[in-house]
Structure 1
Amino acid sequence: MWVLGISRSHNGAVALTHNGKIYSAIQAERISRIKRQPIFLKEDKALVSECVEYCLNQAGIRHADINSIAISTPWGFNQIENNWLFDYIGGAPNDYRGTYYVPHHFSHMEYILHYSNLLPGIVLIVDGSGSLERDRQKFNIFEDPSPECISHVHMMGKETVSAYWFDGNDTSLVYRFSPSVASFEKCNLNSNGLLQSIGHYWRWASNYCFGLHSEAGKVMGLAASGNSAEHTNLNILSVNKDGLITLDYEKLHKEFKSPNIFGKDLSGEKHYADVSAMVQRDTEKILMDILTILKGKYTTNTLYYAGGVALNVVANEKIIRSGLFENVILNGSVEDNGTAIGAALAASNILMKKRVTETVTDFYGRAYVNNEILTAIEEFSFEFEFVEEDQIYDRVASLLFNNKVVGWFQGRSEFGPRALGNRSILANPSSPNMKYILDLHIKHRDRYRPYAPVVLEERARQYFDIDGVSPVMMREGKVLKNNFPAITHVDGSARVQTVTENENEPLYKLIKAFDKVSGFPIILNTSFNLPGEPIVESPTDALNSFSNGSLEYLCLGNYLVSRSSKSAKS
């Protein structure tokens, strides 16, 4: 049973599942090369068709083999005629079982439950906003509300927080906060179109601190430099004992009158750091308050947590270390791109009448073989050599140990927002100058933004205050040794990725080789892309980035490329 999933969203994506297992997935931005590329299903037929083709080619099937299409969107929608939809994806199925329209938060839920191993628990979804209440009757996959559901749903509402109870097979809606989108509502005065939403609180902070709505990651990085004790009296974001969330935009408008509209560098800017710290603190508190309410009604030691706000590793760690749950399950693609997978899984569950689970990963893109890599390399004028499998890890480890910065392109590409060692830039975390080199010459990033370490899972506790695992870089821990300045944030923490040989054999072997020459099993890992661009997808993307950037070496499969010229062959 082949099901195609589409995220019609500001972070558009296409995914393909087979018999309840995730086969392939691609963010539209990796194809268009435009960061945060939306899918509208309007005038973007060529892009959507290319994303679909990408997934079909990975599976070795054609459009005729597709059995169903599932669509999820946080926007308003109308159902689509099959002939029009088939034309849009580039071909018609032969044995078509129907098109499914899946609620946005429900799609997030289905995706995270794919990693459940059928363990009962609470599922919490927190993002900017999801489905409109007026569209509920248009869906043909339905939520099952619990008789005890805590419901704060406005007839003109849009879901911003949802929670479900998972009994090991079926789900029921147990909490929904869906505030009005109407600008005339008192709660929306001075909101500038933002909603009563934890995710939109971060959008406000992003606009205020950086002049753009999409820089929540920068806000989180800046927060570590701020004083969380500032602005404690304002009570901007809160939830009462009945689960009603309040975000006071009028107070924000009154208290904060110095927006960074020109996007100046905020390194050393205490005001904006304190604002960021306030938003971080308020977010951690309200998440804990919501979870305490839910835990009081549903006795469980397991939490599944997704939605865009779940990218906040500091808040994630607060939840994990609270002791409220023994098991906190996180996946990597918690943003809207993941709803392409979630929608496909929701349809698959219905069609197959059973739920399938797998191990957490984000390697859902395609791999490129050495012949494809060589063809791409020969279009450029760089020096390169083929390095045998038994030598490649030692060669690259030696380069890293000698403080060379290396582009690392191996295996299947990552689907989510974070490079996990297959489309990465790697460096020596112990070099005192490495962060400066990366900030100034490679990534062109603000000085307050940290870089992440990837560490062998079996030795992670020697170097980081972290229990458990973090295969998709969703955990934070204090750095226990002071000789890793390139990956240590200003507050002494790091966003940790752990890796095992089963999860990523090439990366694991490289870290083992680096450990032999350096004495520690940690490498700095950051995404392989130039500023303002998506992570590289193909060998050509990687070579273009290498050509236009300042990397010294690039390892694609078994080929080691070094810089000799920036001009591509005509």
Structure 2
Amino acid sequence: MYILGISAYYHDSAAALLKDGEVVAAAQEERFSRIKNDPSFPRRAILFCLQEAGIALSAIDIVVFYDKPFMKFERILETFYRHAPLGFKPFLKGIPIWIKEKMFFKQMLRKELRTLGRYDETHTRLLFTEHHLAHAASAFFASPYEKAAILTVDGVGEWATLSLSLGKGNKIEVLKEMHFPDSIGLFYSAFTYYLGFRVNSGEYKLMGLAPYGDRSSETTLRFAELIKERLVRIHPDGSITLNQAYFNYQTGLTMVKSRKWEKLFGFPRRKPETDLLPAHCSLACAAQIVTEEILLKLVHEARKETSATALCLAGGVALNCVANGRIIKEKVFDQLFIQPAAGDSGGALGAALAAYYIHAGKERTCRQPDRMKGALLGSAYTDAEIRELAEEENVPFRSFDNRRELCRHTARLLARGNCIGWFQGRMEFGPRALGNRSILADPRYPEMQQRVNLKIKFRESFRPFAPAILKEEAASYFDCPVCSDYMLLTAEIRDCYKKELPPGYADLEITEKRRIAKSDYPSITHVDYSSRLQTVDRETNPLFWSLLTAFKEQTGCPMLINTSFNVRGEPIVCSPADAFRCFMTTDMDYLVMENIIFDKKQCKT
């Protein structure tokens, strides 16, 4: 049985294909279209999935969409009606599109599918699953657990913004929901907007900025209290009520009522790309603190309601790795699985899994460590294709027949302070590069963070980098009681590697804080001694594990900086052509694609 899952028309559209319950392929449309967070119908992603399986569209038994458009349309209409005449302009702008497209959604979807091949409605069923059920299914059915509590937290689906469910076998029972307009995801996005970042893509910047604020400072604590007094009421079970007098997302084209926020916090909305001030850092820190408080209450409620010992997380808020680190430290649950494609792209996979287990009623077998195959579910390319690119670009290269020697040579280049594009095997599914579409560097160099941020990624200098570390070495360097295979947890570096901070550190400007080395591995240690950790397993990604092993043998250091292979504003590279273009337009020194190495100096001569 082939099942195709689709997410589209909001942001991060994607496709995922199952064969008899096994994940054959999954990818975001942005990787192929080269449009960041591409919301369009995932035509290229679907064609890739079909190609990977070696089948035509006519072989698909079920196509399932990740939410129910009519329920979403109902929510939008009811919201406009409830607040009329406010919001007339966005209503006037949006309703014609909804009437044209969403009211005839099945017809539109079938029309799109027919452009990809023969689509027989009598053979291929078209199904729709609720948005939060797709999120829940993506986490639980991919997890290794027979029974687990499931929390899905995001901006909004149809009506739900939060769901608490119990997964058992091939069933998911929804126990509680929180509905729009109250939303933890929209609450966090409101601060993203007010601090000058883009909603639906800049939330991780807010999370990266938060540690530059001092959690114990008078300003941060005052902001946190103001947030809880004026903006959000937190209930004992973790559900929230937002004070809509301060928010604008129901009827306007902005997230917040900026004048009210300015009066509340004492400074205006930060304009994008302008300097970051201490007040901005303190507000980001306060927003993170309150979000963690909410999520921890939810986790305790999940344990109380389900009595499960394992927890599964999905939805965009599950990408908040700082909060995830707090959840681990609380030890409310014995086990935790976070869907690596926790956002809307993962909804495509969740929709397909829900159709297989819930709709078709198939039996489920749990598997260790999980069913995601390291999230390495995207496209791969051969040496022959890479050689063809080199011929087209008329550039020299060096080829290795022995993969072990390739890793040794690459490790030597990294140890000399070079930045390397690492392009291997199948592309990752989800927002994180996990060692197949990565930019790598030596974390021991103090200047490496700034160099990679400014001259390669072309992004804000405050942004931290993740360490990819051999799984068997992780506990010696970081205070993290569990593995973090998908780079979804933060952990503090061990005391023995920390450097003492100078007097008055908390009062320094953001640029000064960034320049001070926090540990023996300064380029992966954030201002609060934390790191967004990736543990690399020999079984899941043997080549990346071999590279880290070779680097440890040569340097004694078992970790590397690992950041996604892209520049600011672009998706992670997909093809060899994407990778070569990125390599040539940045300050990277070498590009390693499969068994072939390109040297920037030779390519420019």
Q: TM-score, with normalisation over the residues of structure 2?
A: 0.82
Residue in 1 that maps onto 2:30:
29
Q: 1:423-480, CA deviations, whole angstroms, 9 ceiling, x for partnerless residues?
A: 0000000011111211221112222210000001011011111111111001111112
Q: 1:309-336, CA deviations, whole angstroms, 9 ceiling, x for partnerless residues?
A: 0111110011111121111111210010
Segment of structure 1 superposing worse, 406-415 or 292-301: 292-301
Q: Aligned pair 1:425/2:439, yes or no?
A: yes
SS of 1:283's partner is: helix
Residue in 2 that maps onto 1:205:
191
Letter in 1 for 2:364: R
Residue in 2 that maps onto 1:312:
320
> 1:440 & 1:363 partners in 2: Cα distance?
28
Residue in 2 that maps onto 1:353:
362
Residue in 2 that maps onto 1:272:
280
Structure 1 residue 356: Cα displacement? 4.9
> 1:411 & 1:12 partners in 2: Cα distance?
22
> 2:297 & 2:337 partners in 1: Cα distance?
19
SS of 1:368's partner is: coil
Q: Aligned pair 1:245/2:258, yes or no?
A: no
Structure 1 residue 296: Cα displacement? 2.4
Q: Aligned pair 1:381/2:394, yes or no?
A: yes
Residue in 2 that maps onto 1:52:
46
> 2:395 & 2:587 partners in 1: Cα distance?
13
Q: CA RMSD in A?
A: 2.0
> 1:230 & 1:502 partners in 2: Cα distance?
48
Residue in 2 that maps onto 1:506:
543
Indicate if the aligned counterparts of 2:137 and 2:353 stay in contact, CA closer than 8 A. Answer: yes
Structure 1 residue 558: Cα displacement? 0.4
More helix by share: 2
Letter in 1 for 2:51: N
Q: Aligned pair 1:6/2:1, yes or no?
A: no
> 1:258 & 1:443 partners in 2: Cα distance?
29
Q: Aligned pair 1:411/2:425, yes or no?
A: yes
Judged with a 3 Å threshold, the aligned counterparts in structure 2 of structure 1 residues 161 and 64 are, in CA distance, closer, same or farther, namely same
Structure 1 residue 564: Cα displacement? 4.0
Residue in 2 that maps onto 1:91:
118
SS of 2:284's partner is: helix
> 2:343 & 2:34 partners in 1: Cα distance?
18
Q: 1:203-234, CA deviations, whole angstroms, 9 ceiling, x for partnerless residues?
A: 11111112522311110011001133232322
Q: TM-score, with normalisation over the residues of structure 1?
A: 0.87
Structure 1 residue 357: Cα displacement? 4.5
Indicate if the aligned counterparts of 1:113 and 1:357 stay in contact, CA closer than 8 A. Answer: no
Residue in 2 that maps onto 1:474:
488
Q: Aligned pair 1:328/2:329, yes or no?
A: no
Q: 1:2-39, CA deviations, whole angstroms, 9 ceiling, x for partnerless residues?
A: 11111023110011111011110110100110111102
Judged with a 3 Å threshold, the aligned counterparts in structure 2 of structure 1 residues 275 and 18 are, in CA distance, closer, same or farther, namely same
Residue in 1 that maps onto 2:20:
19
Judged with a 3 Å threshold, the aligned counterparts in structure 2 of structure 1 residues 259 and 391 are, in CA distance, closer, same or farther, namely same
Letter in 2 for 1:539: P
Residue in 2 that maps onto 1:80:
106
Residue in 2 that maps onto 1:64:
58
Judged with a 3 Å threshold, the aligned counterparts in structure 2 of structure 1 residues 356 and 59 are, in CA distance, closer, same or farther, namely farther
Q: 1:24-77, CA deviations, whole angstroms, 9 ceiling, x for partnerless residues?
A: 0110100110111102x4xxxxxx332211111111111121111000147544
Letter in 1 for 2:214: N
Runs of 5+ in structure 1 lacking a partner? Answer: 42-47, 132-157, 180-194
> 1:64 & 1:119 partners in 2: Cα distance?
33
> 1:288 & 1:301 partners in 2: Cα distance?
15
Indicate if the aligned counterparts of 1:239 and 1:290 stay in contact, CA closer than 8 A. Answer: no
**Residues 273-312 of structure 1: pairs in structure 2 closer than 5 A:** 273-312=281-320
Indicate if the aligned counterparts of 2:32 and 2:45 stay in contact, CA closer than 8 A. Answer: yes
Residue in 2 that maps onto 1:362:
375
Residue in 1 that maps onto 2:414:
400
Q: Aligned pair 1:117/2:144, yes or no?
A: yes
Indicate if the aligned counterparts of 2:155 and 2:161 stay in contact, CA closer than 8 A. Answer: yes
> 2:50 & 2:287 partners in 1: Cα distance?
42
Letter in 2 for 1:543: F
Structure 1 residue 117: Cα displacement? 2.8
Residue in 1 that maps onto 2:250:
none
> 1:243 & 1:466 partners in 2: Cα distance?
25
> 2:123 & 2:364 partners in 1: Cα distance?
21
Q: 1:106-153, CA deviations, whole angstroms, 9 ceiling, x for partnerless residues?
A: 00111111233342121000001112xxxxxxxxxxxxxxxxxxxxxx
Structure 1 residue 243: Cα displacement? 5.9
Structure 1 residue 566: Cα displacement? 6.9
> 2:17 & 2:354 partners in 1: Cα distance?
12
> 1:499 & 1:473 partners in 2: Cα distance?
10
Letter in 1 for 2:150: V
**Residues 162-181 of structure 1: pairs in structure 2 closer than 5 A:** 162-179=163-180
Judged with a 3 Å threshold, the aligned counterparts in structure 2 of structure 1 residues 93 and 409 are, in CA distance, closer, same or farther, namely farther
Work out which of the residue numbers 487, 493, 509 in structure 1 matches 2:524.
487
Structure 1 residue 298: Cα displacement? 2.3
Structure 1 residue 247: Cα displacement? 2.0
Q: 1:241-288, CA deviations, whole angstroms, 9 ceiling, x for partnerless residues?
A: 36651123535634134111243132xx11110110111011110111
Structure 1 residue 93: Cα displacement? 4.8
Q: 1:383-411, CA deviations, whole angstroms, 9 ceiling, x for partnerless residues?
A: 31112223101110000000000000001
**Residues 188-203 of structure 1: pairs in structure 2 closer than 5 A:** 195-203=181-189
Q: Aligned pair 1:372/2:385, yes or no?
A: yes
Work out which of the residue numbers 220, 230, 250 in structure 1 matches 2:222.
230
Indicate if the aligned counterparts of 1:123 and 1:166 stay in contact, CA closer than 8 A. Answer: yes
Indicate if the aligned counterparts of 1:6 and 1:12 stay in contact, CA closer than 8 A. Answer: yes
Structure 1 residue 567: Cα displacement? 7.6
Residue in 1 that maps onto 2:156:
129
Runs of 5+ in structure 2 lacking a partner? Answer: 74-101, 216-220, 247-259, 498-518
> 2:366 & 2:393 partners in 1: Cα distance?
43
Letter in 2 for 1:537: C
> 1:262 & 1:110 partners in 2: Cα distance?
36
> 2:441 & 2:469 partners in 1: Cα distance?
13
Letter in 2 for 1:127: D
SS of 2:225's partner is: coil
